């Protein structure tokens, strides 16, 4: 039976990739895309027939009931509202309540690997509390605990390759890095799946690697020598504070410290089982990025 699948945050980079994936599938399902920028999204998908675009802003309660109406299955893409503690969690809670009130049966949420209470990664808290809000709701759900994106390294990579040093406070810790594109594949597959119960999946890369291997993979792909330089968290914090805002510094240092203690070393076949393919390795990701 045809269903109505709803994707939130559809103008974001991840949301865009999810829509591309869903629209490429042969299916009777209707797709609703929520965004704060409907015109921009329509311009990106000018002739998509199965796509209905609606405006929604999770900072505001009004309009959310109409935005979610008719949705059977919802993909809630975690927002990027990290400027004020608590804001993002409130946004997610409003979306969960609106999806349940609209009569949706299932919600897929993009969480993070190991959102434990004592995580050094500040944003883990929102994810853990959003997972708790889902557990307390009436909704069936699929929680996607997504690994750290390889894409996160692309911005700083040119200067790291220039200096020959990938500086991190991750010690010898390993992580199962994944790409944004594979995350989109997994999110689209979970949304389009028939699964109606409650499950938590680890959407992670194929092999745990440390920062020496990460540096070697990027170095090989871009053809420039680069090695991992391990520093203390406090030193990385001081260096980054000179040019980045405090929430971004805590996020980057927090991730390194979480890797150092093993929080991101989680291997799983969930991606393969959900999508029927293997996730990109760091080597393949950087080779693709280098063109």
Ligand X SMILES: NC(=O)c1ccc[n+]([C@@H]2O[C@H](COP(=O)([O-])OP(=O)(O)OC[C@H]3O[C@@H](n4cnc5c(N)ncnc54)[C@H](OP(=O)(O)O)[C@@H]3O)[C@@H](O)[C@H]2O)c1
> Which of 54, 91, 226, 249 is in the footprint of ligand X by CB under 6 A?
91
The DSSP output letter for 150 is: G
Per-residue mark of binding to ligand X, 49-68 (x: CB under 6 A): --------xxx---------
CB within 8 Å of 269: residues ≥ 6 apart: none
User: Rule CB under 6 A: is residue 79 a binding residue for ligand X?
Assistant: yes
Q: What is the DSSP string of 195-245?
A: --SEEEEEE--SS-EEHHHHHHHHHHHHTS--EEEE--HHHHHHHHHTTS-
User: Rule CB under 6 A: is residue 89 a binding residue for ligand X?
Assistant: no
Residues in the chain: 291
Nearest distance from residue 109's CB to ligand X, in Å?
Answer: 10
Of 29 and 55, which has the nearer Cβ to ligand X?
Answer: 55
The site that binds ligand X (CB under 6 A) totals a number of residues, namely 26
User: Rule CB under 6 A: is residue 80 a binding residue for ligand X?
Assistant: yes
Residue 64 structure tokens = 């959310």
> Which of 5, 6, 74, 78 is in the footprint of ligand X by CB under 6 A?
78
Nearest distance from residue 26's CB to ligand X, in Å?
Answer: 26
User: Rule CB under 6 A: is residue 9 a binding residue for ligand X?
Assistant: yes
Residue with tokens 């999770």: 58
Of 110 and 219, which has the nearer Cβ to ligand X?
Answer: 110
Stretch that binds ligand X, among 7-15, 44-52, 114-122, 229-237 (CB under 6 A): 7-15
User: Rule CB under 6 A: is residue 285 a binding residue for ligand X?
Assistant: no
As a whole number of angstroms, the longest Cα–Cα distance in the chain is 57
* Residue pair 120/261 in contact by the 8 Å Cβ criterion: yes
Q: List the interface residues with ligand X, window 178-237 (CB under 6 A).
A: 180
- Give the CA angle between residues 248, 202, 262 to the nearest 5°: 60
Closest CA relative to residue 189, chosen from 274, 277, 78: 274
Q: List the interface residues with ligand X, window 99-158 (CB under 6 A).
A: 110, 112, 146, 148-149, 152
Stretch that binds ligand X, among 4-12, 46-54, 98-106, 229-237 (CB under 6 A): 4-12
Of 149 and 228, which has the nearer Cβ to ligand X?
Answer: 149
How far is the C-alpha of 59 from the C-alpha of 81, rounded, in Å? 10
Of 28 and 154, which has the nearer Cβ to ligand X?
Answer: 154
Pairing of strands 4-7, 73-76: parallel
How far is the C-alpha of 132 from the C-alpha of 93, rounded, in Å? 10
How far is the C-alpha of 139 from the C-alpha of 95, rounded, in Å? 12
Phi–psi pair at 66, nearest 5 degrees: -70, -35
User: Rule CB under 6 A: is residue 264 a binding residue for ligand X?
Assistant: no
Binding site for ligand X (CB under 6 A): 9-15, 35-37, 57-59, 77-81, 91, 110, 112, 146, 148-149, 152, 180
């Amino acid at each position: 039976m045809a269903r109505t699948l709803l994707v939130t945050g559809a103008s974001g980079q991840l949301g865009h990739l999810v829509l591309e994936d869903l629209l490429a599938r042969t299916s009777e399902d209707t797709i609703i895309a929520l965004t704060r920028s409907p015109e921009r999204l329509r311009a990106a998908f000018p002739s998509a027939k199965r796509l209905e675009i609606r405006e929604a802003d999770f900072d505001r309660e009004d309009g959310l009931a109409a935005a979610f109406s008719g949705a059977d299955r919802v993909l809630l893409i975690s927002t990027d509202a990290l400027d004020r503690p608590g804001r993002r969690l409130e946004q997610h809670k409003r979306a969960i309540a609106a999806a349940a009130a609209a009569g949706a049966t299932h919600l897929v949420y993009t969480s993070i690997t190991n959102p434990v209470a004592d995580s050094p990664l500040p944003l883990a808290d929102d994810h853990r509390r959003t997972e708790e809000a889902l557990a307390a709701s009436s909704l069936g759900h699929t929680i996607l605990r997504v690994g750290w994106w390889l894409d996160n390294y692309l911005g700083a990579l040119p200067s790291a390759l220039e200096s020959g040093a990938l500086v991190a406070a991750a010690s010898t810790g390993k992580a199962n890095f994944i790409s944004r594109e594979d995350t989109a594949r997994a999110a689209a597959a979970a949304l389009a799946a028939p699964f109606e119960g409650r499950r938590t999946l680890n959407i992670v890369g194929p092999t745990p690697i440390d920062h020496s291997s990460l540096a070697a993979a990027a170095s090989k792909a871009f053809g420039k020598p680069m090695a991992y330089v391990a520093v203390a968290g406090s030193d990385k914090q001081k260096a980054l504070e000179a040019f980045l805002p405090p929430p971004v510094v805590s996020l980057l240092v927090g991730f390194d410290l979480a890797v150092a203690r093993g929080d991101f070393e989680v291997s799983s076949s969930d991606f393969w089982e959900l999508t029927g393919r293997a996730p990109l390795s760091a080597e393949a990701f950087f080779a693709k990025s280098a063109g």
